[in-house]
Amino acid sequence: MKSPDENRKLELEKSIQTDFQKAMSYGDYLHLDKILSSQHQLSDHHDEMLFIIIHQTSELWMKLILHEVTEAIQFIRQNDLEPSFKILSRVSRIQQQLIQSWSVLSTLTPSEYLEFRDKLGQSSGFQSYQNRLIEFALGNKNAQTLAVYQHQQELYKKMHHALHKPSIYDAAIQALVARGICVDDEVLNRDLSKNYEPNLSVEEAWLTVYRNVDQYWDLYELAEKLVDIGHQQQIWRFNHMTTVERIIGHKQGTGGSSGVTYLKRILDQHFFPELWSIRTKL
């Protein structure tokens, strides 16, 4: 004989929805039929599925980063900094997911990858437009990278537009000015399509914030959030480089780049440079 508690549990189970002829199911909402049927292997090698899914899921996380960073930039440009803090904390957590993905991919050995590498043709992670958009949004601009998207006119226009938009660092510098902290006009009126270069007036502005935390708490908090996502992006780059080196050594990349050599050069490109240089001067 069942106890009253067990009977209540059974009654609750009866309420579970089972008829989805006219209702939206979990799979319907997430379009799982499309997502889970989008892994098309070009070889019969077992590990190609790992390679595909790692890169597809990474692109989904990147889509979410762009969604969040775009919203954060809007808040910062409106001088409403506080809502951006939670958003940027979320971005940092998403970046950690991307960083962790390299440890999964690193289970792919050189011999296993060689079994299907030639099937990739000239496709390469270098061509990830979402990763490029993230770099643009963080201030790393390079007009030459748009050349790989010329075959897709709509995407090319989107990339060109993003190249000329203010980065999150541009928005943060404008927030400094809005609080009465001086920054050189050459920074405020610079060509936004160019890569950001360090500036002494910006360094002095951030030093003012860090030396007067109580007065500029929100700007200080914003700065630390930016340092966090810049740091995470560098870790992602580093893990990318070491994973590539572990799997293919110093071979040329499938997209024609120098592979590991190219990825090592990228590590020298820092985000938000003054937020790092002030640490020595404080």
Q: Is 55 annotated as a binding residue?
A: yes
Q: Which residues contact 168 (CB under 8 A, 6 or more apart)?
A: 69, 72, 73, 76, 137, 138, 139, 226
Q: Contact 243/98 with Cβ under 8 angstroms?
A: no
Task: Record the tokens describing residue 158, joined without a space.
Answer: 């989107």
- Which of 193, 98, 196 lies closest to 146, judged by CA? 193
Task: Record the tokens describing residue 197, joined without a space.
Answer: 């270069």
Q: How far is residue 219's CA from residue 172's CA, in Å, rounded to a whole number?
A: 8
Q: Is 52 annotated as a binding residue?
A: yes
Q: Is 51 annotated as a binding residue?
A: yes
Q: Is 113 annotated as a binding residue?
A: yes
Q: Is 235 annotated as a binding residue?
A: no
- 23-37 burial: b if 16+ Cβ within 10 Å, else e: eeeeeeeeeeeeeee
Q: Contact 42/119 with Cβ under 8 angstroms?
A: yes
Q: Is 76 annotated as a binding residue?
A: no
Q: Is 211 annotated as a binding residue?
A: no
Question: Residue type at 92?
Answer: S
Q: Is 270 exposed, middle or buried (0-12, 13-18, 19+ CB in 10 A)?
A: middle
Q: Is 229 annotated as a binding residue?
A: no
Q: What size, in residues, is the chain? A: 282
Q: Is 67 annotated as a binding residue?
A: no
Binding positions for heme are 240
Binding positions are 51-55, 113, 117, 240, 254
Binding positions for substrate are 51-55, 113, 117, 254
